């Protein structure tokens, strides 16, 4: 969507924040964005949830990525045409975009819309996730991503974006929103 000519702002009524989160870190960032910009919040859920066991989910995601398998989503957005700005939030999994976010971007025609990626990871960054977003939506206007360290389930660190750390992340989100001219 073009910024409003008069105010230079993106129309906040047409924002949706679509996110995937297993241990709550990406959800915490989604909540912060929502506090700042409003819009609808939509959590991506699978028809068949991933296993709770960490080693089991790692093995499954690895297999899905190798085969290009797109797990069916339980989440449905019936009014996607009403949104022109989509924040898309995901953890880094297998140094990639998680399969459910690949499913989401494949399922909907988002051509011409503005996509704003945000991410949490275990300390190894975004990997190839942004390139994959670009490949899955070549006709999207993709803004600079926000990426920050969240938990590291492998080492037993689940929700890390809480308390003081959450305040710190909130300040970083605010700076980022200003840098991409959302606020």
Ligand X SMILES: Cc1cc2nc3c(=O)[nH]c(=O)nc-3n(C[C@H](O)[C@H](O)[C@H](O)COP(=O)(O)O)c2cc1C
Residues engaged in binding ligand X (CB under 6 A): 21-27, 57-58, 61, 91-95, 120-124, 150-153
Shortest distance in whole angstroms from residue 81 CB to ligand X: 28
Cβ proximity to ligand X: between 48 and 79 the closer is 48
In contact, 120 and 29? CB cutoff 8 Å: yes
Shortest distance in whole angstroms from residue 12 CB to ligand X: 24
| Residue 143 DSSP code | P
Residue nearest ligand X, Cβ-based: 150
Shortest distance in whole angstroms from residue 176 CB to ligand X: 17
In contact, 72 and 47? CB cutoff 8 Å: yes
- Exposed, middle or buried, 5 (CB in 10 Å: 0-12/13-18/19+)? exposed
Cβ proximity to ligand X: between 61 and 140 the closer is 61
Cβ proximity to ligand X: between 39 and 150 the closer is 150
- What's the CA angle centered on 96, arms 123 and 137, to 5 degrees? 130
- What's the CA angle centered on 103, arms 183 and 91, to 5 degrees? 55
In contact, 86 and 16? CB cutoff 8 Å: yes
Shortest distance in whole angstroms from residue 126 CB to ligand X: 9
Cβ proximity to ligand X: between 113 and 120 the closer is 120
């Amino acid at each position: 969507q073009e910024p409003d000519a008069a105010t230079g702002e993106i129309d906040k009524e047409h924002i949706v924040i679509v996110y995937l989160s297993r241990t709550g870190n990406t959800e915490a960032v989604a909540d912060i964005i929502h506090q700042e910009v409003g819009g609808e919040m939509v959590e991506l859920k699978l028809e068949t949830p991933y296993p709770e066991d960490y080693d089991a989910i790692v093995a499954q995601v690895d297999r899905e990525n190798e085969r290009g398998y797109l797990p069916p989503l339980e989440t449905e957005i019936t009014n996607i045409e009403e949104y022109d700005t989509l924040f898309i939030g995901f953890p880094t999994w297998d140094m990639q975009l998680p399969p459910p976010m690949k499913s989401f971007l494949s399922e909907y025609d988002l051509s011409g819309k503005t996509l704003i990626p945000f991410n949490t990871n275990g300390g190894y960054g975004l990997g190839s996730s942004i390139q994959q977003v670009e490949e899955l939506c070549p006709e999207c206007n993709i803004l600079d991503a926000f990426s920050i360290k969240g938990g590291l389930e492998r080492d037993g660190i689940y929700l890390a974006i809480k308390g003081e750390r959450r305040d710190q992340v909130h300040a970083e989100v605010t700076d980022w929103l200003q840098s991409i001219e959302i606020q």
